[in-house]
Structures are given as structure tokens and as C-alpha cells.
């Protein structure tokens, strides 16, 4: 395995990796809970159910037995109105993105693509990524390797020269399945699911030390 600084291509998850979105996700889930007659969820619980896309988020929030597809559309509408109320980049992330050329970076998230673009543009970081794929960009989402494979193709990247960086076992599974190295962000929302990442950080500020870049 190469030294972490030698990887040419960086692929990132979004929520829990680049941005802290728990407050706005909690607000949106609880506004929908009011409409559905469900109790509010504390942020601490919301942190534990993020990472597998909006459909699973809704099912985990209100119970799979209560799920109706209309709830998903309503949640996405509400979340779209609160997407940028409090969401922000973790400390050191903007510096990390600025230290690498955009044509070597991709974002692969399970968040819907339209909301992903709106969020990235609202935070002023969309320009840092040549490739941006959401959970609805393909027939499969993470942990399936397909989104990472497509991102590698779009970057023109050799998997052996790329690392998938994320805070959830879905990111590790997707990266490993696509042949990339993996980096687990323990400061985020998820867990490794028992997988062993190639690299691990406990604070967002450690990422730029692992992947310092060469400037632009």
C-alpha cells in the first residue's frame, strides 16, 4: 500500500465527512414528525440513522412499518427549505479541498443529487469537485461499488491511485469493492461495520495531514 500522501485521487462522502448536517436533518425530520403525529427525535439519535440515503432515514426515523413513499417526497421538500440553516464544513475541510486540484477529486454521496448540488453550491465548495454523484445518480448507491466505479471512470483514475474517504461502513464497502484504498473518518456519523480501513482519522483537521496535496 502506498503512503497516504502518494494517492493522486480523492473521493469523498458528504454528510459526516465534509459537512456537519445533523442539525438541519433533525429539524427537517421533526417538522415532518409534527405533520405525521410522531414524537420528535433528538440530534443524538439522528446522528445514528444517517448514511444510507433518504428512504432508509425516513424508515429508521418513524418505523419501517409506517413508511409511505409520500413521506419521502415531503421530507425532501422540507429538507430543501432547511438545507443550509446550520450545515457547515467541518474544521479544516475547506483548506483540504483547496490543497488539491478539482480534476482529481470526486464526491460520492447517498444524499439526492439535486440537494447535494444545492448544498455544495451554498457552501461555496462545489467548484472543488470534477465529479459529483448522488444516491439517485445510478441504480445502485453505496455500499455498492458502482458509484465509486463510475466516479473513478469520470476522473480517469486508476483505482490503485485513489482513496475513498468517508465516515460510514457504506463508504468503506463501496471503496473496497471498487478497488480503492479507504479512509475512515471516526469524527463523523457512522461506524466501520467491522471493516478495517487503510487509514483512519479521529478529527477532520487530520485529513490534510494525511492527504496534504501539492497545491494547484
**Which residues are designated catalytic?**
13
Residue 118 CB-density burial (10 A; 0-12 exposed, 13-18 middle, 19+ buried): middle
With CA atoms as reference, report the closest residue to 172 among 5, 45, 51.
51
Compute how many other C-beta atoms are within 10 angstroms of the C-beta atom of residue 70: 8
Instruction: Give the distance from CA 4 to its chain's centroid.
Output: 20
Write out the DSSP string of 51-82. Answer: SS-HHHHHHHHH-GGG--HHHHHHHHHHHHHH
Answer whether 141's CB lies under 8 Å from 53's CB: yes
Peptide bond into 176 cis (omega under 30): no
Amino acid at each position: 500500500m502506498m503512503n497516504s500522501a502518494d494517492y493522486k485521487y480523492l473521493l469523498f462522502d458528504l454528510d459526516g465527512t465534509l459537512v456537519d448536517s445533523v442539525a438541519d436533518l433533525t429539524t427537517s425530520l421533526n417538522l415532518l414528525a409534527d405533520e405525521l403525529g410522531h414524537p420528535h427525535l433528538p440530534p443524538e439519535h439522528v446522528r445514528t440513522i444517517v448514511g444510507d440515503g433518504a428512504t432508509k432515514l425516513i424508515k429508521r426515523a418513524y418505523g419501517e412499518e409506517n413508511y409511505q413513499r409520500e413521506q419521502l417526497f415531503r421530507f425532501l421538500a422540507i429538507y430543501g427549505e432547511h438545507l443550509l440553516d446550520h450545515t457547515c464544513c467541518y474544521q479544516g475541510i475547506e483548506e483540504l479541498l483547496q490543497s488539491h486540484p478539482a480534476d482529481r477529486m470526486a464526491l460520492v454521496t447517498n444524499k439526492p443529487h439535486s440537494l447535494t448540488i444545492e448544498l455544495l453550491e451554498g457552501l461555496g465548495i462545489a467548484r472543488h469537485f470534477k465529479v459529483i454523484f448522488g444516491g439517485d445518480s445510478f441504480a445502485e448507491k453505496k455500499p455498492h461499488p458502482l458509484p465509486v466505479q463510475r466516479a473513478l471512470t469520470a476522473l480517469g483514475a486508476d483505482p490503485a491511485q485513489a482513496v475513498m474517504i468517508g465516515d460510514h461502513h457504506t463508504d468503506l464497502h463501496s471503496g473496497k469493492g471498487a478497488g480503492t484504498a479507504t479512509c475512515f473518518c471516526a469524527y463523523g456519523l457512522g461506524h466501520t461495520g467491522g471493516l478495517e480501513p487503510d487509514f483512519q482519522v479521529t478529527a477532520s483537521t487530520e485529513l490534510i495531514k494525511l492527504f496534504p496535496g501539492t497545491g494547484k
